[in-house]
A and B are shown apart, each in its own frame.
Chain A
Amino acid sequence: MRTVVLRRILFILPVIWGVSTFVFLIIHLIPGDPIDLMLGETANTVDREALRRQLGLDRPLWQQYVTFLQRAVRGDLGHSLHNRRPVRILIGERLPATAALAGAALVVAIALALPLGILASLRPRSWLDTVSMLLALIGVSMPNFWLGPLLILGFSLHLGWLPVSGRGDGSIAYLILPALTLGTAMMAILTRMTRAGMLETLREDYIRTARAKGLVEWIVVGKHALGNALIPLVTLIGLQGGALLSGAVITETIFAWPGLGDLTIRAIQQRDYPVVQGCVLVIALTYVVANMITDVAYAVLDPRIRFESE
């Protein structure tokens, strides 16, 4: 087991290095002088040179790169050009909201997908199967930047049941619509995968044996079939966890949810490059680490993979 974990950690180190290098280069890949973009061409020379010094752009590229990496390792991601606050603090303030949103979306997706997928697999080609697959198809085809406004229109503006936007006092009512918006696409994919996995597992010999032994159907489905059908879902949930992070960027904009995605978009619009760099770095690293944890979890759950790796 330790070998699997060590191998995965060694594997992500070059990836993390690549991600950090790309993030460092963001400011250097801007066509023209980045200072012009940030301050506008009308800014005076003193301000321009001060910003150039602050960002370290007056030094040779390799020195800037080394300094960037040294600071990044210490968690120092620079200061916002917009409000001068440390990027680390800005991200730290926004991270819990994004984590809450992504976590709630994950719960929504799993809570809806598992029953739908299992029921569809138990009655293939029935009306239940057709409805489940239709819901999954609509869910996967419906962009979240349309679903969000539709939910607001229905549940907030017409019915008045839920708040339109923001995080308010942090109550769960504010979380429901954003979580539904973000979780729907994942729910659709998970439903299809659950159904496919269950259909495949239910055809296995050991299921026939379990039924032949006289086990009641819910034990056959719940214990024998579901346990094995869920293993590939772990990978999918892990990978989709990353997709949730990027999906959160749009969902947070729709619902004015004060998370990392909202911060990223505002920083891009304000050309606040240190904040853009910090946000991209944090989201990408979270994604990489989430994928690594998924791989390890997969190995823990499926002994065949563990033994192959070792």
Chain B
Amino acid sequence: MMRRRRRLAPSAYLGGILLGLLVLSAGLASVLTSYDPRTQDLSAGLGAPSWPHPCGQDKLGRDLCARLLYGARISLLVGVVSVAVTLAVGTAVGAVSGYRGGLLDELLMRLTDMFLAFPGILLALAMMAILGPSILNVIIALCIVGWVGYARLTRGLVLVAREMEYVTAARATGAASGYILLWHILPNIAGPLIVQATFSLAGVIVAEAGLSFLGLGVQPPTPSWGAMLNEGRVFLVLAPHLTLFPGGAIMLAVLGCNLLGDGLRDLLDPRGHTN
């Protein structure tokens, strides 16, 4: 009997396209718009969407489309850097913890318990209160919050993998623990970690936007979707486009991550499939 090859669901392709658009918008912002996101035109403040300004203008007359495109850079920068760092740190901690076991495992897991004792956004807020608002500090805060999930997931996966025959075989050949973890176990547990990273990207994009919305993240005049939403909600009646477009952009980015994550989970981690 032929084995049926599993394929990505069509909705996952849609997610991939949405994320691709996000990357393109960020990368080609300067090509896609001729406006500078910081150039003000006070005479055209709160301008409604029009042909020269398809998304309208904000209270200072800045082109909203340009700010959305350049804002995509911030979301993507914070998202990719935070996910990369938390994935690396969390996987390393979880792998060592699960593979070595014993007292080290116990200590590391109690440490993760401490971090898990804080609701994510609260810890990020506390870190922002300490560090002060800036892009770098948002990334630091989100990294401090985010590594724990990967550590827990990796530990669980390594605990299962280390009992597998291929690991016993690698040990029998005299391979060192680090080598086994890196070249034998990690490739075999990569699927669920990639799935988790995709969902985390959504979480990080929302968290960055949330912190900026609260005025604790990216500071003006740097364009950030969350900060734009916060500025826009003051003019909800006069200029609803200032709320609709940045919020829509955040939602599409998050939707893209969720659709792709769902599809990848079905493909790479069928045991984690809950729907």
Contact = CB atoms under 8 A, between A and B. Distances in A.
A93 B81 CA distance: 40
Contacts of A247: 121
A263 to B, nearest CB: 12
B250 interface: yes
Contacts of B128: 268
Nearest to A30: B130
B209 A143 contact: yes
Contacts of A192: 274-275
A153 B240 contact: yes
Contact of B121 (A31, A141, A249): A249
A249 B122 contact: yes
Nearest to B131: A31
12 contacts: A15-B117, A140-B258, A141-B202, A143-B251, A145-B226, A149-B236, A150-B247, A247-B121, A265-B216, A268-B129, A283-B119, A283-B122
Contact of A15 (B113, B206, B251, B274): B113
Interface residues of B, number: 45
A242 interface: yes
Given A19-B118, A250-B213, A269-B215, 11 more contacts: A19-B117, A137-B259, A141-B202, A142-B254, A146-B250, A152-B236, A153-B243, A246-B120, A250-B121, A276-B129, A287-B118
A184 interface: no
B122 A276 contact: no
A188 B204 CA distance: 19
Nearest to B246: A146
Contacts of B126: 22-23, 26, 276, 280
B121 A18 contact: no
Q: Which of B114, B132, B230 has the most CB of A within 10 A?
A: B114
B207 to A, nearest CB: 10
Interface string A17-29: 0110011001001
Contact of B119 (A18, A150, A246): A246
A19 B120 CA distance: 13
Contacts of B121: 246-247, 249-250
A5 to B, nearest CB: 18
Q: Which of B117, B230, B246, B250 has the most CB of A within 10 A?
A: B117
B49 interface: no
A170 B128 CA distance: 32
Nearest to B113: A15
B247 to A, nearest CB: 3
B237 interface: yes
Contact of A243 (B119, B132, B247, B255): B119
A250 B122 contact: no
A22 B215 CA distance: 23
A254 B125 CA distance: 16
A149 B117 contact: no
Q: Which of A15, A16, A133, A145 has the most CB of B within 10 A?
A: A145
A269 B254 CA distance: 28
B122 A22 contact: no
A26 B128 CA distance: 10
A235 B195 CA distance: 22
Nearest to A146: B247
Interface in A224-274: 242-243, 245-247, 249-250, 253-254, 264-265, 268-269, 271, 273
A145 B240 contact: no
A146 B229 contact: yes
Nearest to B115: A18
Contacts of B251: 141-143, 146
A157 B239 CA distance: 13
Interface string A44-77: 0000000000000000000000000000000000
Interface string B100-128: 00000000001001100111111001101
Contacts of A137: 255, 258-259
B59 to A, nearest CB: 16
B214 interface: yes
Nearest to A196: B274
A141 B210 contact: no
Contacts of B118: 19, 22, 280, 284, 287
Contact of B117 (A195, A245, A284): A284
A303 interface: no
A40 interface: no
B101 to A, nearest CB: 19
Nearest to A283: B122
B38 interface: no
A19 B114 contact: yes
